[in-house]
Amino acid sequence: MEFNKVIEMRRSIRKYLQKEVPKSVILKLIKAAMLAPSAHNSQPWRYLVITDKNIKINLASSMVEKWREDLIRDGMDNITVNSIINEGMKKIISSPVLIIAFLDMSEMMKYPDKRRRQAEYTMGIQSVAASIENLLLTATANGLGACWLCAPLFCKEIVKNALNVPSYFDPQALITLGYPDESPNIPKRKIINEIVKFNYWR
């Protein structure tokens, strides 16, 4: 598929056919993700691929309990909370593949001061994000759909414990993946003059 067409066709897919995604195809996506640019060529991304339904259920159940606490704290009533939680659980469990993206700072630069440490952490996040975008575009090019979810950011320790990953792995995203069972329209985009200026912003 022509590259610009891949970019145009990429959508956030939330409904999938209950069809297995071959391991070889999943690895093709991960290999594309590994080709992304990264700070100092540190390649700080780590990916955990989940296809086991029981693990999906355990992960989703663990995450939504924290979500429930947050929604109740926000003042939401129980009926609305349960509806939101059930829909969230369904999205995760019904996805043929889950891919959890982690940031591993162990090979990034080390600085004594907080300012540069924070900048290095931000660079790590940017590197993982670039890697995820490669994965999403490659999914589209191979007839797959995916959806980038930021839910792990709100319950990092829960995700790490549920998946038994090293303590220094920093969860960044949960990506659902499968063969699409929907064809969303192009979402509204800003016009180019709203988001770009040349030389000075004025």
114 in a structural domain: yes
2-58 pLDDT per residue, tens: 999 999 999 999 999 999 999 999 999 999 999 999 999 999 999 999 999 999 999
Give the pair of three-digit tokens for residue 120. Answer: 């290095």
Question: Which domain covers residue 31, as residue numbers?
Answer: 12-51+96-180
135-174 pLDDT per residue, tens: 999 999 999 999 999 999 999 999 999 999 999 999 999 9
- Provide the number of structural domains found in the chain: 1
63-122 pLDDT per residue, tens: 988 888 899 999 999 899 889 988 888 999 999 999 999 999 999 999 999 999 999 999
191 in a structural domain: no
Task: For residue 92, report the phi and psi dihedrals to the nearest 5 degrees.
Answer: -75, -50
4 in a structural domain: no
Residue 181 has pLDDT above 90, yes or no: yes
62 in a structural domain: no
200 in a structural domain: no
Domain containing 132 — which CATH number? 3.40.109.10
7 in a structural domain: no
Please give the Cα distance from 66 to 83 (Å, whole number). 15
Output b/e per residue, 111-148; b: 16+ Cβ within 10 A: eeeeeeeeebeebbebbbbbbbbbbbbbbbbbebbbbb
